[in-house]
Structure 1
Amino acid sequence: MSRAVCPGSFDPVTHGHLDIIARAARLFDEVIVAIGVNPSKSRLFAPDERVAMLERSVAGLDVANVRVAGFTGLVTDFCREQDAQAIVKGLRSSSDFDYELPMAHMNVALTSVETVFLPTATGQSFVSSSLVKEVAAFGGDVSAFVPPFVLDALTARLAERT
């Protein structure tokens, strides 16, 4: 069985993330969406909220071989625990590749887990969780970039902070 991990912070999940997850699900027998929990980083949504949003989001995909899990520490340790052979990463631009390539080399050196890079879908290359949060914080319309229930949660969370 081929198993891949699709790691990220998903704060919040975007349509770009979901596209990469769905495409990975067609390439591997099982895909584990791994939500990184780093206590030293400040996130808009708590780990359990991000897990719930991802679970609801992937339930809406036309795939049955995706599950969601949180993890702490190194993604390679998580991959070993899950018996995953690959890490799937989406690339929006050449700068993403420049950032991700050294990590891919380190990951394979540590655990023999290969990294598979998938280019983002046309029209999604500029979308990031950080940009979505920033635009939404200034009242911009980000409804095209996140599922409706994520937009509701994002709007509510940002309203709490003002």
Structure 2
Amino acid sequence: MRRAVCPGSFDPPTNGHLDIIGRVAALFDEVVVLVAVNPAKKGLFTADERVAMIEEIAKPFGNVRAVAFEGLLVDYCRDADVQAIVKGLRGPGDFEYELPMAQMNQHLIGIETLFMVGDPGASFVASSLVKEVAKLGGDVADLLPPVVHTRLIERLAEQT
């Protein structure tokens, strides 16, 4: 079985994330979306909430599951018999950020990182920017899957 991981924070998962996940799902037998758990960071959504949202929006693909994970990505990849790490790139800044990590992962366990170019129409979309715009009352509905947009609006309302 050819298995790939798509790691990230996904706080919240955007249409850009869903685009990459769906395209990876068409190339591999199984895709594991690894939701990063960083105790030093306080996300808007818990890891369990992010996992649930990803599992819901990725149901149509049939071969995607989401898992919360804390620790070294390569440890998960080795233990789960993962053949590739797939990262979406929005622009050159993402490449510059991701390249050293890909090289380190290759050095540590020999795993390949594949870079997938994101949809040019969503190259400006980042979860942090979506949250910031939504907090200030901007309309971000077209940047998120509907269920995620609903959860974002509900969460922001809870905070006021």
Q: TM-score range by the shorter chain?
A: over 0.9
Aligned to 1:51: 51
Instruction: Give secondary structure in 2 for the equivalent of 1:144.
Output: helix
2:12 equivalent in structure 1: 12
Task: Determine the C-alpha separation between the residues in 2 that align with 1:151 and 1:26.
Answer: 25
Cα separation, 2, equivalents of 1:18 and 1:148:
12
Q: CA deviation at 1:11?
A: 0.3
SS in 2 for 1:102: helix
Q: CA deviation at 1:122?
A: 2.3
Does the aligned pair in 1 maintain the 2:90–2:120 contact within 8 Å? no
Question: What's 2:88 paired with?
Answer: 90
C-alpha root-mean-square deviation of aligned residues, in Å?
Answer: 0.8
SS in 2 for 1:84: coil
Runs of 5+ in structure 2 lacking a partner?
Answer: none
> Aligned ranges for residues 89-108 of structure 1 at < 5 Å?
89-108=87-106
Q: Output aligned runs, 1:135-150, within 5 Å.
A: 135-150=133-148
Per the alignment, in what secondary structure is the counterpart of residue 39 of structure 1?
coil
Aligned equivalents of 1:64 and 1:108: distance in 2? 29
C-alpha displacement of 1:159: 1.4
Percent of matched pairs sharing the same residue: 60
Which residue does 1:117 correspond to in 2?
115
Distance, in Å, in 2 between the alignment partners of 1:149 and 1:111 is: 37
Could you state the TM-score of these two structures normalised by the residue count of structure 1? 0.96
Residue 152 of structure 1 and its aligned partner are, at CA, apart by: 1.2
Q: Could you list the runs of 4 or more consecutive aligned residues of structure 1 that deviate by over 6 angstroms after TM superposition?
A: none
TM-score normalised per structure 2:
0.97
Partner of residue 67 from structure 1, selected from 65, 69, 88? 65
**Helix, strand or coil for the counterpart of 1:4?**
strand
> Deviation per CA, 1:2-38, whole angstroms, max 9, x where unpaired?
1110001100000000000011111111111111111
